[in-house]
């Protein structure tokens, strides 16, 4: 009987590993919601498999499962913040040297396709301050190319950038809540 339980646990672990890998693989298509849900589902399955091999106590198993899901969500949120910071850096770098009214392109090229590559335009709408604290208000677009079933479109956002030495950095606390939500 002990052998049957071990085989069952190994099969559950193998299945959980396979499903978690499939979820992660499917999620790397550029769709953030698939990435998030896939990671959470994979963590739930893996947590259940681990809990099943470690304990028969339902409370402990639930704790392991919830911990795995919480860790997966924290990992997803961290990776999204990294991607958003990268995008903000690209926009700030393009906007920094511009004078009021000038327009420059910006784009992102992600090494891991958790989110799609993006592009747009940025302009300086006004200089906020100069001297020891150089800051500019910017307006940037996120441009979407035309596809077979949808026309090209642009979304516009306002933010601020400031100079830190030779580098221009994102300075808005909440640049575009509709765009990035609480995870900028």
Q: Which secondary-structure segment (H or E) carries 8? A: helix 2-27
pLDDT score, position 117: 87
pLDDT score, position 172: 82
For 152-167, write each residue's pLDDT tens digit: 999 999 999 999 989 9
pLDDT score, position 111: 79
- CA 168, distance to chain mean position in Å, is 22
Residues in Cβ contact with 9 at an 8 Å cutoff, skipping those fewer than 6 apart: 49, 52, 53
Compare 20 and 140 and report the one with higher pLDDT: 140
Nearest Cα neighbor of 170 from 40, 81, 109 is 81
Mean pLDDT score across all residues of the chain: 74
For 72-115, write each residue's pLDDT tens digit: 777 777 777 778 888 899 999 999 999 999 999 999 998 777 77
Average pLDDT over residues 55-83: 73
Rg over CA atoms, the chain? 23
Strands (DSSP E) contained in 8-152 are 103-107, 119-129, 135-144
Cα–Cα distances in Å, from 153 out to 93, 119, 145? 23, 12, 7
For the four alpha carbons of 112, 118, 123 and 129, in that order, the dihedral sign comes to: negative
pLDDT score, position 119: 95
**Neighbour count for residue 99 (Cβ, 10 Å):** 9
Whether the full predicted model's pTM is greater than 0.95, yes or no, is no
pLDDT score, position 115: 78
pLDDT score, position 5: 45
Q: Is the separation of the CB atoms in 86 and 108 below 8 Å?
A: yes
Point out the least confidently predicted range of 22-31, 66-75, 122-131. Answer: 22-31
pLDDT score, position 108: 92
Compare 39 and 156 and report the one with higher pLDDT: 156
């Amino acid at each position: 009987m002990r052998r049957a339980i071990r085989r069952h646990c190994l099969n559950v672990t193998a299945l959980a590993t396979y499903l978690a890998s499939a979820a992660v693989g499917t999620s790397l298509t550029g769709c953030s919601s698939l990435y998030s849900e896939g990671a959470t589902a994979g963590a739930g399955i893996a947590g259940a498999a681990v809990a099943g091999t470690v304990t028969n106590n339902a409370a402990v198993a639930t704790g392991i499962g919830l911990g795995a899901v919480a860790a997966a969500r924290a990992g997803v949120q961290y990776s999204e913040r990294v991607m958003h910071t990268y995008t903000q850096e690209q926009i700030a770098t393009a906007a920094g040297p511009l004078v009021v009214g000038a327009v420059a392109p910006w784009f992102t090229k992600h090494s891991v396709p958790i989110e799609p590559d993006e592009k747009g335009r940025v302009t300086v709408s006004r200089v906020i301050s100069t001297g020891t604290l150089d800051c500019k208000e910017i307006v940037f677009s996120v441009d979407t190319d035309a596809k077979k079933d949808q026309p090209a479109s642009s979304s516009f956002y306002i933010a601020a950038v400031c100079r830190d030495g030779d580098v221009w950095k994102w300075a808005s606390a909440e640049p575009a809540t509709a765009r990035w939500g609480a995870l900028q």
